[in-house]
Amino acid sequence: MLELRRLTSEYIETEDRFRLTGEDEAGNTISLWLTQRLSRSLISYLLSAISRSSTEATRNPTQDDDAGNLLQEFAQQAATAELPLQDAVDSTLSNQDWLVEEVDINQGAEGIVGLVFKKEGVESVAIGFEAQQLRQWLSIVRSQWVQAQWPIDIWPSWMAEQGESATQVSKNPVH
């Protein structure tokens, strides 16, 4: 299994899909394509997992929805504000390029969420996210989702950026 250490996520309009370009420790590069249908399922599960397992939810399990949303919003804003700047993983260097058919999601010790991207007949690709990294990646995916003009009904209100509109979202890849 190929394990990624870096990932660049971008919406490609001509494909109407997300391209995840990843790099492993040895510098090997791979491009994975996600359809909207698979992306919706993946994102819905990850958002639900964050809502259930975040420290904001477990510290205050009896809080009302408004308070819970506010705590989630603060945690999301903090994670997004700490997103480090990195060079993009260059998709032109990919030695593999395939459409993801299935994603396994593993929740490991210490809150690590592992994603294993699969396609029959090829080596699986994995990446792990700590809680803050997962929030950061979801923020990136959401900004690209808005750019794609895909229905935003799966995204909770605590993920929205202040004053956001579809025309304000960057059209550049984010990593």
Higher pLDDT, 91 or 60: 91
- Predicted confidence (pLDDT) per residue in 111-156, tens digit: 789 999 999 999 999 999 988 889 889 998 999 999 999 999 999 8
Is residue 100 within 8 Å of 28, Cβ to Cβ? Answer: no
What is the pLDDT at residue 173?
53
pLDDT at 62: 52
Q: Classify residue 53: in a domain, yes or no.
A: yes
Average pLDDT over residues 160-167: 50
Instruction: Kindly compute the dihedral angle of the four CA atoms of residues 100, 83, 111, 97, in this order, to the nearest 10 degrees.
Output: 10
Who wins on pLDDT, 108 or 101?
101
Q: Is residue 174 part of a domain?
A: no
- Integer Cα distance of 66 and 138 in angstroms: 21
pLDDT at residue 164 is higher than 60: no
As a whole number of angstroms, the distance between CA 124 and CA 3 comes to 9
**In terms of pLDDT, which residue wins out, 87 or 12?**
12
* Mean pLDDT, rounded, of the chain: 82
Which pLDDT does position 166 carry in this prediction? 37
Collapsing DSSP states into helix, strand and coil, what is residue 58? helix
Residue 10 lies in a domain: yes
Q: What is the pLDDT of residue 165?
A: 43
From the CB of residue 10, how many other CB atoms can be counted at a distance below 10 Å?
22
pLDDT in tens, 38-86: 999 999 999 988 877 655 544 555 555 666 666 766 566 665 666 667 7
Task: Say how many domains are in the chain.
Answer: 1
The reported pLDDT for the residue numbered 126 is: 96
The two three-digit tokens of residue 114, written as one number = 């592992």
Model confidence pLDDT, tens digit, residues 1-14: 899 999 999 999 99
Answer yes or no: is 136 within a domain: yes
Q: What is the pLDDT of residue 95?
A: 85
Domain extent at residue 29:
2-168
pLDDT at 46: 93
| 173 is a domain residue | no
